[in-house]
Amino acid sequence: MTAPVAIIMGSQSDWETMRHAAETLTALGVSHEARIVSAHRTPDRLVAFAKGAKAAGFQIIIAGAGGAAHLPGMAAALTELPVFGVPVESKALSGVDSLYSIVQMPGGVPVGTLAIGKPGAINAALLAASVLALHDTALATKLAAWRKAQTDAVAEKPEGAA
Ligand code: RP5
């Protein structure tokens, strides 16, 4: 059976960011597949992947890219599946270029855009899990436990304070 979540990225260099999405999904027991699909360097691979993603059994696509980050938007143009975009932090412009490239979609072709970098990758995974949990009570329970553990881990007082 195909994993419900596809994590695609424009380059191997994006993995350092996107692995946080993969690790978060793994922590929640959500199976996923990670692939390099570049809008610019492998456009035919992008078209084939995005057009076939729904039939292949994927339910959600997480797409990370940096710089002129066309991958999430092009994927969204080619599939009806929900696409969550993660702006990867670029060297030249710290990911602001990635963010603007991903977030400013024209009305009618949505990409749910997350924060730049690691927080965005983690949150894309959590959003994907939240959507899947609407029809998966076991996953909903795991997600609630994950959130409770996060809450419980926050100390009331900062270390070193009186
Ligand atoms: C984008 O260009 C990728 O998503 C990556 O963030 C950026 C740089 O790619 P590399 O030159 O590191 O392969 O397509």
- Cα 69 to middle of ligand 1, angstroms: 8
* Angle formed at CA 105 by CA 99 and CA 110, multiple of 5 degrees: 105
- Which ipTM did the prediction report? 0.97
Can you tell me the distance from the alpha carbon of 9 to that of 37, in angstroms, rounded to the nearest whole number?
A: 6
Residues contributing to the annotated binding site for substrate: 11, 14, 41
3.40.50.300, 3.30.2350.10, 3.30.559.10, 3.40.50.1970: CATH of 3-151 = 3.40.50.1970
In angstroms, the Cα distances linking 42 to 39, 46, 80, 95, 125 are 6, 6, 21, 22, 24
Residue with CA nearest ligand 1 atom 3: 10
With a 6 A CB cut-off, is 74 part of the ligand 1 pocket?
no
Phi, psi (deg, nearest 5) at residue 14? -80, -15
Residues 74-124 have pLDDT tens digits of: 999 999 999 999 999 999 999 999 999 999 999 999 999 999 999 999 999
Can you tell me the distance from the alpha carbon of 37 to that of 139, in angstroms, rounded to the nearest whole number?
A: 28
| pTM for the model | 0.97
Residue with CA nearest ligand 1 atom 13: 11
| N-terminal to C-terminal alpha carbon distance within the chain | 55
Rg of the Cα atoms in the chain? 16
pLDDT at 125: 98
Q: Which atom of ligand 1 lies closest to the CA of 40?
A: 14
